[in-house]
């Protein structure tokens, strides 16, 4: 059988750890496949490029997850709810779309089981995490700086607020899904407001996988904190299972973890 080829589509993609994560496991499991990355200029070209490159599957990152959703012939129920796809597998000539950010986030929590949760930000990642939480019987509150993106959440009966609205301050889990801190030194809301929210929480979680001002503040307050690396690794693990069309032992997560540590 021919070697199978997989790729990450995004813009930018050159910083991505996904090739390391996937190729480490193909090697360990002796699967004849290779994972690379592809810099896409326009989302509307996603399907055309995917087929032209002869790929068996792909991951999709910022800013093309909604284009990927639109390009799919079949969608799993999570992806349908979320409206964003980060994994596509070619089956019988059809593009089948999944969202593994959602289960990836929940798996990254390990044994931590919050009773209440606050999600900061209302983009694609917030959507994935909100539906993943709901599937685990946690109803999060979603807070965003602008009102526009909150309408999606209200339509799906999530509790929402903008930054100037009162939401209380006791949430077991506070998750930053905004891009604040990614390439700047910003907080997702004022430092003082964030401080009082974190004081009432058990875990501060940032989806960005570096130490952001949000995480630094949690550490100063002696609140447990976690960055987005585990989420990245788990979403890759679940995507890998879709690519090889088989469940594998969870112990192999360590192979992926070692590949990026
Ligand atoms: P989107 O562009 O879809 O959404 C970004 C959100 O951040 C919006 O709600 C936006 O608010 C808000 N925002 C941006 N800048 C600020 C700021 N300075 N202050 C307050 N709010 C801000 O992005 P995604 O949801 O796709 O990704 C969000 C983050 O999650 C990225 O940093 C990405 O790297 C990370 N991520 C990590 C993953 C992992 O595996 N660890 C997986 C996927 C994403 P507004 O609506 O007002 O513009």
Query: Which residues neighbour 224 within 8 Å (Cβ) at sequence distance 6 or greater?
Result: 202, 203, 204, 218
Q: Is 73 in the pocket of ligand 1 (CB under 6 A)?
A: no
The one-digit pLDDT tens for each residue of the chain (261 residues) are: 689 999 999 999 998 999 999 999 999 999 999 999 999 999 999 999 999 999 999 999 989 999 999 999 999 999 999 999 999 999 999 999 999 999 999 999 999 999 999 999 999 999 999 999 999 999 999 999 999 999 999 999 999 999 999 888 799 999 999 999 988 999 999 999 999 999 999 999 999 999 999 999 999 999 999 999 999 999 999 999 999 999 999 999 999 999 999
User: Tokens standing for 195?
Assistant: 């401080």
DSSP state of 240: H
Q: Is 125 in the pocket of ligand 1 (CB under 6 A)?
A: yes
**How far is ligand 1, taken at its centre, from the CA of residue 178, in Å?**
3
**How far is ligand 1, taken at its centre, from the CA of residue 103, in Å?**
18
CA 123 → CA 65, 81, 95, 106, 211, distances in Å? 11, 14, 24, 18, 21
Q: Which of 3, 49, 65, 159 is catalytic?
A: 65
Based on the residue annotation, tell me whether 159 is a catalytic residue of this protein. Answer: no
- List the residue whose alpha carbon is closest to atom 13 of ligand 1: 178
The answer to whether residues 206 and 225 touch, using CB atoms and an 8 Å cutoff, is yes
Q: Is 182 in the pocket of ligand 1 (CB under 6 A)?
A: yes
The answer to whether residues 203 and 112 touch, using CB atoms and an 8 Å cutoff, is yes
pTM above 0.85, yes or no: yes
Q: Is 227 in the pocket of ligand 1 (CB under 6 A)?
A: no
């Amino acid at each position: 059988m021919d070697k199978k080829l997989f790729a990450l589509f995004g813009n930018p993609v050159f910083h991505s750890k996904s090739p390391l994560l996937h190729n480490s496991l193909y090697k360990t499991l002796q699967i004849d496949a290779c994972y690379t990355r592809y810099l896409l200029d326009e989302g509307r070209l996603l399907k055309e490029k995917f087929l032209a490159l002869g790929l068996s599957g792909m991951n999709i990152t910022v800013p093309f997850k909604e284009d990927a959703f639109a390009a799919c012939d079949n969608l799993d129920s999570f992806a349908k709810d979320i409206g964003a796809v980060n994994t596509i597998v070619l089956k019988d000539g059809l593009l089948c779309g999944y969202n593994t950010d959602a289960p990836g986030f929940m798996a990254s929590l390990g044994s931590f089981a919050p009773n209440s949760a606050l999600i900061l930000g209302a983009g694609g990642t917030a959507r994935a995490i909100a539906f993943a939480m709901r599937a685990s019987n946690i109803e999060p509150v979603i807070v965003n700086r602008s009102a526009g993106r909150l309408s999606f959440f209200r339509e799906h009966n999530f509790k929402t607020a903008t930054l100037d609205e009162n939401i209380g301050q006791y949430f077991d889990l506070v998750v930053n899904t905004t891009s604040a801190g990614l390439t700047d030194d910003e907080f997702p809301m004022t430092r003082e407001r964030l401080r009082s929210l974190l004081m009432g929480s058990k875990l501060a979680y940032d989806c960005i996988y570096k130490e952001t001002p949000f995480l630094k503040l949690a550490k100063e307050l002696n609140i447990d904190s976690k960055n987005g690396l585990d989420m990245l690794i788990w979403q890759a693990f679940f995507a890998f299972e879709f690519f090889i069309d088989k469940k594998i032992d969870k112990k192999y997560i360590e192979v992926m973890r070692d590949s990026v540590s």
